[in-house]
Structure formats: C-alpha cells, structure tokens
Amino acid sequence: MKQKIRAFFYGRNGADTLSKAILYPALLLLLAGAFFDAGWLKYSLYFLAVAGLVYSYFRIFSRNLYKRQNENRVFREFFKIMRLKWRDRKTYRYYRCPKCREWMRVPRGRGSITITCRVCRFRFEKIS
Ligand SMILES: [Zn+2]
C-alpha cells in the first residue's frame, strides 16, 4: 500500500507552499460556510472553498513540475519581498529594475538618486 502511494506521487508536484496557501483558507471557508443559513452567502463561501480545494489538489497532483514550481517560486518571491519591504520600511526603499525586473534596495531620504542595477548595469532615476 505504501509502495502504491509512493508510486502514485512519483513525478507529481506535491503539497508546496502555494498549494497549502490555497488549501488552508479554502478549508476555513468550508468551515465558515457551516455557520450561515442557506442563502447566497453560504453558497458563495462554498463555491470559493470548492474552487480553492479543486485548484489546490490540481496543483498537488500536477505532473507539470516546471510550471507548478515556477508558480510557487513567483508566489514565494512576492511574499519574501513584501516581508523585506515591511522590515526595512523606515530605512530602505525597494525598486525593480525596469530592464531585468531585479529587486534593489536603496537607502531612504536621499532625494533624487540614480540607481545602477547590479545585474544588468542599467541606470534609472528614482526618489528615495
Ligand atoms: Zn537590471
């Protein structure tokens, strides 16, 4: 039995961060729906919950690892930048290179500055 489960999951994406980030709120919505009487609110909560569950399980069982891992990477990168922006909100500003989309951190309160991208050497002006 254990061998069969392992064989089934071989080559599949599995429960990554993005799948869990969709699955857990979907389960909460499913629970929340139980507290409402039948009506549009209950059915919309159930609809959202089921849509989240279906998408989450689609991601977990998907064999297109390249696409799923790329989605997961973009999702994790977004929250990583949000966390850094919040942590450094008083001392630094974050900008994206308009050419290569790389994130850069510059000190706050220096007025108008020219930023040189450390990856592609592209220069652009921003107010820090
Ligand atoms: Zn760049």
pLDDT digit string, tens, across residues 42-78: 999 999 999 999 999 999 999 999 999 999 999 999 9
Least confident interval from 30-39, 42-51, 99-108: 30-39
Distance CA 26, CA 45 (A): 9
Q: How far is the CA of 67 from the centre of ligand 1 (A)?
A: 24
Q: How far is the CA of 118 from the centre of ligand 1 (A)?
A: 7
Q: How far is the CA of 16 from the centre of ligand 1 (A)?
A: 29
Which three-class secondary structure state does DSSP give residue 60? helix
H helices, E strands: number in the chain? 4, 4
* pLDDT (0 to 100) of residue 28: 95
pTM passes above 0.95: no
Q: How far is the CA of 82 from the centre of ligand 1 (A)?
A: 20
**What is the token pair recorded at 3?**
């061998």
